[in-house]
Amino acid sequence: MQLKTKCFCHLMWLLLVSYWLPLSCYSQQVTVVNIEQVTDLMQNQSDTVYVVNFWATWCAPCVKELPEFVQLHEAYQNRKVRVQLISIDFRSALESSLKPLLQRKNITCPVWLLNNTDYDSWINRIEESWQGEIPFTLIFNNQRRKRVVISGQTDFHHLEKLIGEML
């Protein structure tokens, strides 16, 4: 009897998850943003760890590490962690490259497209030490005045370790 209840619970759980997963997977939307929206995000003072990743569809190491951010987004959904992917693809690539890639790769976290290619006007506003190379990731908790940057490809375990130090 007890075994049956257990099995039933597991089944219900699987059913729930199977309904919920596709929902979260296909609700992908890309928001086209300007640099002010990005700097606002960077200056957010709430007690939240922000993981902000600059990437583009044409950048192979960026695309390769996307699943790591998705994993992070899902693992920390109930914590004070926000993962924000910021694509610096051209606006003209939104429908032709960006959206198809996100769908193909099943990218479930929120994605912004920063519609500004006058890089010299904004790179220093994001991070002085950033030379413009991508992938580039910033992890910060402004309320605790903690901030680290990662130049180049990273992975879930490295990100998780850094987040752990800021939560």
- For residue 129, state whether it binds other proteins (rule: CB under 8 A): yes
Q: Nearest distance from residue 2's CB to other proteins, in Å?
A: 53
- Cα dist. 13→1, 24, 70, 78 in Å? 18, 16, 22, 18
55 to 84: interface string for other proteins, x by CB under 8 A: -x-xxxx-----------------------
CA 164 to CA 167: how far, in whole Å?
Answer: 6
- For residue 119, state whether it binds other proteins (rule: CB under 8 A): yes
- For residue 111, state whether it binds other proteins (rule: CB under 8 A): no
The residue among 133, 134, 137, 159 whose CA lies nearest residue 57 is 134
Q: Which tokens in the block code for residue 114? A: 């920063």
**What number of other Cβ atoms are within 10 A of residue 67's Cβ?**
14
Is residue 65 within 8 Å of residue 134, measured between CB atoms? no
- For residue 130, state whether it binds other proteins (rule: CB under 8 A): yes
Q: Residues in contact with other proteins, total (CB under 8 A)?
A: 25
Interface residue with other proteins, options 33, 83, 134, 138 (CB under 8 A): 134
Interface residue with other proteins, options 2, 5, 18, 92 (CB under 8 A): 92
The residue among 155, 149, 144, 111 whose CA lies nearest residue 128 is 149
Q: Nearest distance from residue 131's CB to other proteins, in Å?
A: 3
Binding to other proteins (CB under 8 A) within 135-164 occurs at: 135, 151-153
Determine the residue type at 164.
Answer: G
Interface residue with other proteins, options 133, 144, 148, 157 (CB under 8 A): 133
123's enclosing H/E stretch is helix 123-126
Interface residue with other proteins, options 7, 32, 44, 132 (CB under 8 A): 132
Q: Which residues bind other proteins (CB under 8 A)?
A: 56, 58-61, 88, 90, 92, 117-121, 123-124, 129-135, 151-153
